[in-house]
Amino acid sequence: EQMGFCSGIENYSRHLSGRSAGEPPPTLLDYFPKDFLLAIDESHQSIPQIGAMYRGDRSRKETLVEYGFRLPSALDNRPLQFGEFERLVNQAIYVSATPAEYELQKSEGVIVEQIIRPTGLVDPQVEVRPVAQQVDDLLEEVRKRAAAGQRVLVTTLTKRMAEDLTEYYADLGVRVRYMHSDIDTLERLALVRDLRRGLFDALIGINLLREGLDIPEVSLVAVLDADKEGFLRSSVSLIQTIGRAARNVEGRVILYADTVTASMKAAIEETERRRAKQVAYNKEHGITAQSVKRAILDMAIHAVASGADDALAGKEELAGYLPEDRKDVPKMIAQLEAEMRAKAEELDFEGAAMLRDRIQAIKDLDLGIMPKRPEVLKQEARAAAGLPTRPAGQKRRGRPNGRPGSQRR
């Protein structure tokens, strides 16, 4: 006669599906036919995460069970163990520029190298320079690339060094930005887009591998303290980092180090091996290398707004929101913010609110997000304040301070 729900019941799915203790839970892989083909991209990172998912989940739930926050059977609502995952996969393709030992063993010698690029681009030349003058030496290199209209990626070992280097270069007049882990996805996309558009010349970060930075305008990648062995300076990480300069015909990589470590040696040798094959192929077929040409993603107005979502503003409503030169966006926002504060001081709160919405719309457009229509924003504001919302197009009756429904005569 009664129906309800139990929050977190999925923790005890073992009892609902009739499984025994320790038995693996059903997953999406169970629904595929036996002869399905699994393709794993970036396998050198994806494969280790499969085993890590189970161990991380187990560690967390064991603590919850130990202190009485979960029943022991909650341990069986879990990701697959690595061995269980392997038993479900009959055939797989591992895709990676730097395959790990596991993939090489599983492939049993069936390895296909895709080294030749359609554009004729070759892997960049790698140069090792001493650490002593790395900051000043890199400053000169950044200025050279900036003068040529090119971009630079710089990777450091610590967050502190990245911050200090960004501040130091900025004080010297270099247009530089710092990418860190606290930046969310949309801001990161905007940062990469601004680098491509030339709003700044150098991007400094700690781990540029995970950012998916594939920027044709980058002609130089600099790795500071390359001889400090560790995850970010392993042969795999260095090869992946070197590849960031392989989209530009003038791509080069500078490793700042006092000694050539085993990881550096392996990365340099592998890059030179691939480069030699690419150069030989280009020479044999008369190919002239060309930089990758890719449109700069600008999601602001072009072909994004449509009538499919009535809450989103249309192109006609956004006309004139952004300046002709996108470099003037910060200046426009600062000007509108000053006007908004002035209206607030004059107690013109409605005018201030309209400017606030306009500022937010400009920021959204600059990040590639379609802003909402003004009436939708007003409805959301009323809902947040606990006021009843009115259907779109219905006007308020009576004065704001009068009784509901009363009208002036």
Mean pLDDT, all residues of the chain: 81
169 and 244 together in one domain: yes
Q: Is the pTM of the predicted complex or chain greater than 0.75?
A: no
142 and 274 together in one domain: yes
| 310, pLDDT greater than 90 | no
Quick one: pLDDT band at residue 185, thresholds 50, 70, 90?
low
| 270, pLDDT greater than 90 | yes
| pLDDT tens string 155-166 | 998 888 988 999
- Does residue 320 lie in a domain region? no
202 and 130 together in one domain: yes
The parent domain of residue 274 ranges over 125-285
Q: What is the CATH number of the domain that holds 84?
A: 3.40.50.300
211 and 338 together in one domain: no
| pLDDT tens string 24-64 | 988 999 999 989 999 999 899 899 999 899 999 999 999 99
- Does residue 76 lie in a domain region? yes
Distance CA 61, CA 65 (A): 6
Cα-based distances in Å from 374 to 319, 340, 366, 371: 14, 16, 18, 9
Pick the most confident of 14-28, 252-266, 352-366: 252-266
Domain boundary among 285, 302, 334: 285
Residues in the chain: 409
Q: Provide the domain count of the chain.
A: 3
Quick one: pLDDT band at residue 305, thresholds 50, 70, 90?
very low
More confident residue, 299 or 376: 376
- Does residue 380 lie in a domain region? no
340 and 274 together in one domain: no
